[in-house]
Amino acid sequence: MDFFDTINKRRSSRKFTDKSVPDEVMKKSFEAAIKAPNSSNLQTWRFWWVRDLEKKKKLVEFCFNQSAAREAKELVVVTADPDLWKVSNPEIIKYAKEINAPRLVKFYYEKLIPMTYRVGWFGIFTPFKKLSFFITGLFRPITRRPGSMRDLQEIAIKSAALGAENFVLALEAQGFSSCMMEGHDETRVLKLIGLRSPARTAMVIGIGEPSERALWGEQFRLPLEKVVKEV
């Protein structure tokens, strides 16, 4: 399927047929998901394919029993956890050394990333980081974030959302549809998959073949001139 055909075809389907989703379709979609751009390539996302029937039943309940979850043949929870930099960063540093990456790349991951992602116990470093950003910003352009764990969570969620977009587009290209659900009980969903703060849920995705009742109308979008501005 042509890329733009896939973009135009993708819709949020809330009703699905009884057709199962082949494992190879899911795997190919996950492979596409992890190719998405993400902040500093730290890959602080995780994709939880919920296959256990009891957990799946609970997850539907935690998604308020909405049809996109209830009728889905597969359910995936996309999470964002800024603490995962501790897992990925050493691997990136190792890789950078193996390929003899530029000195600036090594410095970025060996020095700047730890400084950026460490906020200390109970966020003790946060006020000092924000004060430093403020003072430096008086004299030259500077990034103003992240200063707090909440800032880091926001960055991780953005990356996870990019991965989720790749995932659903890959599903669409293979003839299956999806619905990305923000409507869920985040606390209960995290507990279900064995996570806790600072991890966040970016979304829960219901997956299947769309039924004839999947959509209630044509796609609505605001005109381009209302959302694209030249400055």
pTM: predicted TM-score of the whole model, two decimal places: 0.92
Render 44-103 in DSSP notation, one character per residue. -EEEEEE--HHHHHHHHHHTTT-HHHHS-SEEEEEEE-GGGHHHHHHHHHHHHHHTT--H
**What b/e readout covers 140-169, taking b as 16+ CB neighbours within 10 angstroms?**
eeeeeebbbbebbbbbbbebbbbbbebbbb
Mean pLDDT of 169-178: 97
* Residue 127 in this model has a pLDDT that exceeds 90: no
Percent of the chain at pLDDT exceeding 70: 100
What's the mean pLDDT in 8-37? Answer: 97
Q: Which helix (H) or strand (E) holds 189?
A: helix 186-192
Q: What is the pLDDT of residue 85?
A: 97
Among candidates 42, 66, 49, which has minimal Cα distance to 156?
Answer: 42
Structure tokens at 171: 């599903």
Pick the CATH number of 3-82+150-210 from 3.40.109.10, 3.20.20.10, 1.10.940.10, 3.30.2420.10: 3.40.109.10
- Residue type present at position 151: D
Which residue in this structure is represented by tokens 């990356």?
A: 159
Where in the chain are the domains?
Answer: 3-82+150-210, 85-148
